[in-house]
Structure 1
Amino acid sequence: MGDIAKGVLGGGWALVVGWVLPASLNLALFFLVVAPNLRRIAVIERLWPDSASQVALLLLGTSVLFGIVLNALQTPLYRFLDGYLLWPRSAYDRGCRRQRSRKERIADLIAQPEGRTPVQSALLNEQLARYPTDDDQLAPTRLGNAIRRFEEYGHNRFRLDIQVLWNELSAAGPEQARRQVETARTSVDFFVALLYGHGVVALALLALPSAGAERPLLVVTAIALCALIPLWYRSAVYATDEWAAAVRAMVNLGRKPLADALGLVLPQQLSEERAMWQLVTRMSRRPYRDAADAAFAPYRAASSDPNPPTHPPGPGA
């Protein structure tokens, strides 16, 4: 039992809280509002559980199932909200222009601090910090920019592309930093799953054939769910602050362990470190070339073996 609890509180906690829990909330709403109308269909009525315990078991099973499916689909779900997937080119460009204008407007307000309290100035700086440093990295949505700001952090500061080297970085980085990243992302996952579920339930309510006194209730519920979607979206944007801080800590604290794990020595000069990480990123993204041997030579750690092999061992070694 202790091993099961440890597994749930470890790797499975992000799945349960980030995807299964919001799926269960949306399914509970669906069961309460939509299911009674669907039971008028003869086939569904015959398949519907007979007791409350069976209904609860059905709700639990479908919640876990939908949570796992949402977790598996998280990349396209995020990419759509970020503005990268299924967005027409015109909408993408228009969104980028709008976000660039918003970033410039916030920066102009920060540059003119007259008449603002320190708290108001801090809030403006917080809003500006949700944008990537490089304007070329701007995304067409607020959530896309809030995520893109820490995706570009390693490359902007150290030329360490965490998009390419994230698995290596998380494997070599401190355990506490890895847990912080997972925990922080769980909050964003929760709101993303919640808003998608609200959208699906609202569509089901509007598409449900019904008449009489029940129809206004279904419409009002659907409108209320649609009104909550912007709230969950904004909550997801705010929740990225902790995610960004955790990724920043992973980059800052994990660079040296990553260099050690790769057999490299972290240079003392920041400019040389940036050059080294650029080489590592390039090596990971491109096919090997002989020029990489000389390029990596200044950064490679000395071998601890006093008699290193001059050639690789044969298959029978």
Structure 2
Amino acid sequence: MFSELPKLIGRAFLIGQVLPGTLLTFGLWSAFAPGTIIDTIKLANGVSGTAAALVILWLVAIALSAINRPLIRLLQGYPFRPLTWAAKRAYAREAAPYFAEAARLEAARQTDPTAKPKLPDLNGGLQRAVTHYPDAPRFLLPTSLGNIMRAYEVYPRILYGLDSVPAWPRIVEVLPKETLSRLEESRGLLNFGANLVFASTVVVLATLLSRLMNPPHPIHSNLLSLAILSHPLGWAVARNAAHTWGDQCRAVFDLHRGDLAEALGLILPSDPAQERIMWRAFSRMTLYRLPSAADELARFRAPQTAEAQTYKTNEDHLP
């Protein structure tokens, strides 16, 4: 329990949860009780009033933290996966031609090292495609944020055969504290963008509801304008933060998958093809709970000592 306290007072939590939580609280208060804001601020000048205000803001921030994962999945478009027609059209226009040309050129250069690309800006277009889209249309999500995050989620599978879904919670256990700190800061910006989208949407709806229920107040027009402007700002922050977070996630798999292999008792092969075989077996084992996939990993383990072999032999005879 107490090990979680630093996460509730760190910079990532302040940026990602407390700041949008404060904006949400102020926006709701302004929407439903605009005439009491000044009096409330005056009451909060005392020690007890300030403490009460901080507790309220902290509770709102914790509530935002609790809903953060489902909120980000909502913004990625997971509940609306059947509605990917626009994303598929964008993929066909902005990604598929570059993926196909890169594959063709790589195959051609196996026999002709001087082969030239047929697309004029292959490098630039391919770089944008691999950071904005997954490798196949079946992995597309309806929103740009979802596809940016999908793009780095498929990265370790494409290069190393390692599925990021089961690998991520395991690899973070072997990361250095400095790397974890940088990841938390990047995640804090992503959380801020997502929470700002949520807060601005709630404030707009609350303000419109308040205007229907009560006489209009001058602050409502300004509040609506600020909330409407904050909505696209939140989306932009979330997308930019997702790119930064994605770069760091790719670096984690590039630099620390050897640490993960060591923690699992595996020896990382020097041959890339053999490494992909190993990580595919690991992915099947963890995703589908397949003992046969675990057996495939045996040849990638370090030779057992005589003591370990004796222990296994004795274990086989247990009732």
Say yes or no: TM over 0.5: yes
Q: Is the aligned partner of 1:211 residue 2:188?
A: no
In 2, Cα distance between equivalents of 1:286 and 1:33: 49
After TM superposition, give the deviation of residue 187 of structure 1 in Å: 0.7
**Structure 1 residue 304: deviation in Å?**
4.3
Equivalent of residue 15 in structure 1, options 13, 20, 32? 13
Matches within 5 A, 1:1-317: 8=6, 12-32=10-30, 34-37=32-35, 51-53=43-45, 55-85=49-79, 87=80, 89=82, 92-101=83-92, 103-104=94-95, 111-113=119-121, 125-126=127-128, 129-208=131-210, 209-211=213-215, 214=217, 217-290=219-292, 292-293=294-295, 295-304=296-305, 306=307, 308=309, 309=311, 310-312=313-315
For residue 180 of structure 1, report the CA deviation from its aligned partner.
2.2
Deviations 1:183-213 (A, max 9, x none): 211111011111211111111111113336x
TM-superposed deviation, 1:33: 5.3
State the distance in 2 between where 1:312 and 1:170 align: 32
Residue 16 of structure 1: CA displacement?
Answer: 2.8
Unaligned runs of 5+ in 2: 102-117
State percent identity of aligned pairs.
Answer: 27
| TM-score, length basis structure 2 | 0.78
- CA distance in 2 between partners of 1:261 and 1:11 (Å): 31
For structure 1, which segment, 165-174 or 238-247, has the greater mean C-alpha deviation from structure 2 after superposition? 165-174
Once the two structures are TM-superposed, the CA of residue 291 in structure 1 deviates from its matched residue by 6.8
SS at match of 1:268: coil
After TM superposition, give the deviation of residue 224 of structure 1 in Å: 3.3
User: Would you say the 8 A contact 1:27–1:59 is kept in 2?
Assistant: no
Within 1, Cα distance between the matches of 2:158 and 2:130?
16
Query: How many residue pairs are counted as aligned between the two chains?
Result: 292
Q: Which runs of 4+ in 1 moved over 6 A?
A: none
Equivalents in 2 of 1:147, 1:210: separation in Å? Answer: 42
Q: Output the CA distance in 2 between the equivalents of 1:99 and 1:123.
A: 13
Residue type of the alignment partner of 2:66: A
| Structure 1 unpaired stretches of 5+ | 40-44, 115-120
Change (3 A) 1:128 1:264: closer
Higher alpha-carbon deviation: 295-304 or 268-277 = 295-304
Q: CA RMSD in A?
A: 3.5
2: distance between equivalents of 1:138 and 1:271? 27
For the Cα contact (< 8 Å) 2:24–2:199, is it kept in 1? yes
